[in-house]
Amino acid sequence: MSLILAFESSCDDTSVAILNSEYEVLVNLISSQPQHLDFGGVLPELASRLHMKNIMHLCKLALRKANVGLGEIDAIAVSINPGLIGSLIVGLAFAKSLAWSLQKPLITVNHLLSHIFANYIEYPELKPPFLALVVSGGHTELVHFKTDTEFEVLGKTLDDAAGETFDKAAKLMGLGFPGGPVIDRLAQGGDPNFVMLPNPLAQKDNFNFSYSGLKTAIRTYIQSKDDDFLKKHQHDIAASIQRAIVEPLISKSIRKARSLGVSQILIAGGVAANSALRQGLSTRAAKQGIMVFYPSLSLCMDNAAMVAAAAIPKFKAGIFAPLSVNANSIKGTRLL
């Protein structure tokens, strides 16, 4: 069995993981950066400096915890896009230097698509074809995987992302950052029909998403109410916002899976932690004979175990990156 040492540093979490080629996690360490909380969002320059400070220490700790020597590692994996360019470069430079000094293959992966492979850790028997809904702070995409390494993007957001909409709504409600988990918690027991919010691009043959109009509608609604009203109805408002964000994700994923004749939907990315999305999609898809998979909460957030998991099919297929490879901050999913 082979061992993959993986690095993730695309945003504000430094993570190092070791997986074997059967998708078993030997170690998955994540060092988050609470320093950004003071700024209400991630400060890119600070993020890269903290990655530089953390990565060496975290790598040594991961090897020690897994009781693995560097000489036992068979390949080095790292996410190279999309993300904050300075942050990506720290992970890539570190991964390259290890691959070069150990004379082991370097495997680069798309951070966004690697979220999908977190599902392989929970369900190693999972096999394509499947439809993957990738929903994170910056992305909202519907991707059809025909094999482990061949995919096609069938729908994506035309403007803002689902996670960004959760974050913006929470900010407007004075609930802090990141907004998704707080809104998810507040929405429990709230009435999702309390506020009627728009459902953009609802046409049956449209598989793209749009959240900018919804963001504006949420802002207009919140600004039209006083603080007492917002406080009194915060559960109902959170439930209504949550429903407006997840409803298009659920209905479009099921419709697309049915039209493709695909019987598996995987959810991935930070927003895959959302309880209404997980429950709503599973229940409604089951009625159509479609199975829904999602990772455990800890594997939904940015972590290097998913980077290693995405690298395993490439490792098996011998798809390696040259040491001249560069990171890039381009949004989206052009390459695995």
- Point out which residues bind ligand KG4 (CB under 6 A): 11, 136-138, 163, 166-167, 178-181, 184, 269-271, 273-274, 301-302
Q: What would the DSSP string read from start to end of 94-110?
A: HHHHHHHHHT--EEEEE
Within 132-191, which residues bind Zn ion (CB under 5 A)? Answer: 136
Q: Which is nearer to Zn ion, 139 or 243 (CB)?
A: 139
| Cα angle 257-262-263, degrees, rounded to a multiple of 5 | 100
Closest distance to ligand KG4 from the beta carbon of 296 (Å): 13
For residue 281, give the amino acid letter: L
Closest residue by Cα to residue 167 from 311, 43, 270: 270
Distance (Å, whole) CA 140 – CA 20: 30
User: Which option in ligand KG4, Zn ion, none does residue 54 bind, with CB closer than 5 to 8 A by kind?
Assistant: none
Closest distance to ligand KG4 from the beta carbon of 96 (Å): 22
Q: Which helix (H) or strand (E) holds 85?
A: helix 85-102
Closest distance to Zn ion from the beta carbon of 57 (Å): 22
Closest distance to Zn ion from the beta carbon of 239 (Å): 25
Closest distance to ligand KG4 from the beta carbon of 179 (Å): 5
User: Which option in ligand KG4, Zn ion, none does residue 184 bind, with CB closer than 5 to 8 A by kind?
Assistant: ligand KG4
Nearest-10 crossing angle of helices 275-286, 179-187? 60
Cβ(330)–Cβ(81) under 8 Å? yes
* Peptide bond before residue 129 is cis, with ω within 30 degrees of 0: yes
Residue from 119, 302, 310, 312 in contact with Zn ion (CB under 5 A): 302
User: Which option in Zn ion, ligand KG4, none does residue 113 bind, with CB closer than 5 to 8 A by kind?
Assistant: none
Which positions lie near Zn ion, rule CB under 5 A?
136, 302
